[in-house]
C-alpha cells in the first residue's frame, strides 16, 4: 500500500510517497496519477517535518528510511549523492569516479535525472566539470535556488 502526503512550500507543492514504511518518492509540482491513500502516517509526518526544517534552514541532513526504485547503478549514484555535504557540490565526473566508473559521467546525469527522492537525495548538488549548473529534472531555477539556499545557510 502506498500513502501520500501533500505539503505547500516556498518551492511548490511537495508530495511525499511512502510504501512499506519507507519513502519511495518526493514529487514537486506533479499530479499523482496512480492510486495512493492520503494518510498522515508517522513516517510521512516525520518526513514533512524534516523537509520543512530543511527549507527553513534548520536541517542539513535527513534521517528517514529511503527506498528509491532504480537499477543497481542508479542506486549506487544516489547513495554517493547522499555523501555530498550540505552546501557543497560535486561534478558528474567526481560522482562517476566515486561509484567506480570514471567514464560514466553521462550515466550519472541520467541517474540524477531519474532520482525519485530529490532534496533528500541531493542531486541538485551535482554540477558540470566547468563549474556551471547543468541539468536538473525539477528545472534550473529550483536547482539554483536550492544551491544558493544551502550556501546562505551553511554558516
Tell the burial category of 83 from Cβ atoms under 10 Å away from its Cβ (0-12, 13-18, 19+).
exposed
Distances (CA, A) of 24 to 2, 10, 37, 96, 132: 9, 22, 14, 23, 29
CB 103 within 8 A of CB 93: no
Q: Which of 109, 142, 123 has its CA nearest to residue 80?
A: 123
| Residue 36 falls in the annotated catalytic set | no
pTM over 0.85: yes
Q: Which of 4, 14, 44, 123 is catalytic?
A: 123
Confidence of residue 24 (pLDDT cuts 50, 70, 90): very high
Based on DSSP, count helices (H) and strands (E) in the chain, helices before strands: 5, 6
Residue 27, pLDDT above cutoff 70? yes
Q: Give the pLDDT of residue 32.
A: 67
Q: For residues 22 and 71, give the distance between their C-alpha atoms in angstroms, rounded to a whole number.
A: 18
Tell me what percent of the residues of the chain surpass a pLDDT of 70. 96
Q: Give the pLDDT of residue 14.
A: 93
- pLDDT 10s digits, 85-136: 999 999 999 999 999 999 999 999 999 999 999 999 999 999 988 888 877 7
Q: For residues 50 and 102, give the distance between their C-alpha atoms in angstroms, rounded to a whole number.
A: 33
Q: Which of 35, 26, 104 has its CA nearest to residue 68?
A: 26
Amino acid at each position: 500500500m502506498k500513502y501520500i502526503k501533500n505539503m505547500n512550500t516556498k518551492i511548490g507543492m511537495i508530495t511525499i510517497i511512502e510504501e512499506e514504511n519507507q519513502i519511495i518518492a518526493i514529487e514537486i509540482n506533479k499530479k499523482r496519477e496512480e492510486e495512493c491513500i492520503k494518510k498522515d502516517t508517522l513516517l510521512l509526518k516525520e518526513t514533512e517535518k524534516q523537509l520543512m526544517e530543511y527549507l527553513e534552514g534548520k536541517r542539513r541532513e535527513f534521517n528517514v528510511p529511503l527506498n528509491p526504485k532504480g537499477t543497481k547503478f542508479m542506486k549506487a549514484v544516489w547513495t554517493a549523492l547522499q555523501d555530498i555535504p550540505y552546501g557543497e557540490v560535486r561534478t558528474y565526473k567526481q560522482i562517476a569516479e566515486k561509484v567506480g566508473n570514471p567514464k560514466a559521467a553521462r550515466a550519472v546525469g541520467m541517474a540524477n535525472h531519474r532520482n525519485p527522492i530529490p532534496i533528500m537525495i541531493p542531486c541538485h548538488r551535482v554540477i558540470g566539470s566547468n563549474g556551471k549548473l547543468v541539468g536538473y529534472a525539477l528545472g534550473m531555477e529550483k536547482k539554483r535556488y536550492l544551491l544558493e539556499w544551502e550556501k546562505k545557510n551553511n554558516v
